[in-house]
Structure 1
Amino acid sequence: MTAPLTPPPPPHDHSAQGSWQPPAGASGAPAPGSQHAEYAEHTGLGWYGQDDGPGMKTELREAGLVALAVALGGVLLGVLWWWLAPHVPLVGDVTDGNWVVYLKDTEGEQAVGVDGTFTLLGLGFGLVSALVVFLLRRRGGVPLVVGLAVGGLLGSLLAWRVGVWLGPAQDVVAHAREMGRGVTFSAPLKLGAKGALLAWPLSALVVHLGLTALFGPRDPEPEFGHGAYPPKPAG
């Protein structure tokens, strides 16, 4: 006598149990009051690490305002450069009926001091502008850093032109005729080392990145489980 055949067991249904379900909510966000929701609220990140911070348009608008404000500071830099830079003494003379202008002190280092004054002022303005931007916008961001660097470069260019405009006349021969033969007068402001224009933006970048690395906001560690992902449901 043979044993009756028994039907095979039904296949395991994975649709109802054993499959991981996302937290409740139409948008995939964690349920309010849950442990995952508290973590997302604490870190400022939405579900799946979505950032709830300002959008790209807002960051670009802030970067544009920073660049404009920093660039306008070039007016003050130009005034300070004109005021603090050493004067290069010139003297005019007449040779064969033609006016000729000479350096009064051929071994003087006033011209080097003019470039050095601009460079030191640029470094100082870069430090101050980076500190102010960091205090106003600690979160930072790539557009903000780019706006700070662009504003520093534009400010340096503006300061250069303002200083030249405020300084002595550019036509040294006409100035020598006006002053008279053998009378000492100051040469126009001239930036011999154009690399000094980069002192402001480079200083601003270095200082801002340093402040962000030392005192910028930190992402808190996850408070659930041993990792950054929610625990797997039992089933």
Structure 2
Amino acid sequence: MTAPLTPSPHDRPPHHPESAGDVPPGGPATLSRALRAELPSAAVVAAVVTVSGVLLGFLWLWLAPRVPLISDGKAVFLRSSEGEQAIGADGTFALLGLGFGAVSATVVFLLRRAGGVGPVTGLAVGALLGSLVAWRLGMWLGPTSDVVAHARAVGKGVVFDAPLRLGAKGMLLAFPLAAMAVHLLLTALFGPRDEVPGPGPEAGSSREG
């Protein structure tokens, strides 16, 4: 009596790829290692872009139009009821955010032209944090938020500046949205292209036939 030619599944050696303890190539373990490898680059990009928010805050404080106030000794009023300085402060922040986003995305793309999840994630997180840093820094360094005390300090009939505020909080997204849009555009135009595989030997043999 002869033995069967096809081994049963129980006869497979322990190192067989289909055994329970093995992970096939490209499985969850490989993906986890790839993500961990991207963490340092993501952290560096996020930190640098966040720090750039300090410069954005200083520029907003310098370029944003001031809102003039005046006191009659009893209440505080806008010196010009038709003034658009408050809207101008929001617009200035948005324009600066768009510029910083475009520059940050360009620098990240040039330094990491090969792409990867890490730099893109770091760029998005850093741009959002940088926008928040700029907003809070501009308010902190600007005129005091205690308008009543400021009016008493300067005196009746003296014009003084209102606190620097961001009326439309959606302007905080100008920095990260511009960074993502510009980086996506640069990647689409100048990023690495996937190689198109050539015809295999089967295609050549079929043409010959």
**TM-score normalised by structure 2 residue count:** 0.79
Provide the secondary structure at the position in 2 that maps to 1:90.
Answer: strand
Give, as a single letter, the amino acid of the residue that structure 2 aligns with 1:94.
G
Give, as a single letter, the amino acid of the residue that structure 1 aligns with 2:60.
W
- How far does residue 221 in structure 1 lie from its aligned partner after superposition? 2.4
Provide the secondary structure at the position in 1 that maps to 2:73.
Answer: strand
CA distance in 2, matches of 1:89, 1:152: 31
CA distance in 1, matches of 2:145, 2:194: 56
1:162 counterpart = 2:141: no
From 116, 121, 130, the counterpart of 1:146: 121
Give, as a single letter, the amino acid of the residue that structure 2 aligns with 1:74.
G
From 27, 40, 61, the counterpart of 1:82: 61
Structure showing greater radius of gyration is 1
Deviation per residue, 1:38-96 (Å, 9 max, x gap): xxxxxxxxxx99x9xx932221210111011100100000000000000000001223x
CA distance in 1, matches of 2:164, 2:178: 23
Give, as a single letter, the amino acid of the residue that structure 2 aligns with 1:121.
L
CA distance in 1, matches of 2:124, 2:108: 11
Give the structure 1 partner of residue 151 of structure 2.
176
Structure 1 gap segments, 5+ residues each: 1-47
Give the structure 1 partner of residue 17 of structure 2.
none
- Whether contact under 8 Å (2:45, 2:126) holds in the other structure is yes
1:134 counterpart = 2:109: yes
**TM-score normalised by structure 1 residue count:** 0.70
CA distance in 1, matches of 2:168, 2:119: 28
Structure 2 gap segments, 5+ residues each: 1-24
Give the structure 2 partner of residue 8 of structure 1.
none
1:106 counterpart = 2:81: yes
Deviation per residue, 1:25-44 (Å, 9 max, x gap): xxxxxxxxxxxxxxxxxxxx
- How far does residue 112 in structure 1 lie from its aligned partner after superposition? 0.2
Deviation per residue, 1:163-206 (Å, 9 max, x gap): 01110111111111111100000101000000000000000000
**How many residues were matched structurally?**
176
Q: Where is the helix percentage greater, Structure 1 or Structure 2? A: 2
Give, as a single letter, the amino acid of the residue that structure 1 aligns with 2:72.
D
- Whether contact under 8 Å (2:66, 2:162) holds in the other structure is yes
Provide the secondary structure at the position in 2 that maps to 1:115.
Answer: helix
**Root mean square deviation, CA, Å:** 2.3
- How far does residue 143 in structure 1 lie from its aligned partner after superposition? 3.0
Provide the secondary structure at the position in 2 that maps to 1:91.
Answer: strand
1:199 counterpart = 2:178: no
Give the structure 2 partner of residue 92 of structure 1.
71
- How far does residue 113 in structure 1 lie from its aligned partner after superposition? 0.1
CA distance in 2, matches of 1:201, 1:78: 15
- How far does residue 131 in structure 1 lie from its aligned partner after superposition? 0.1
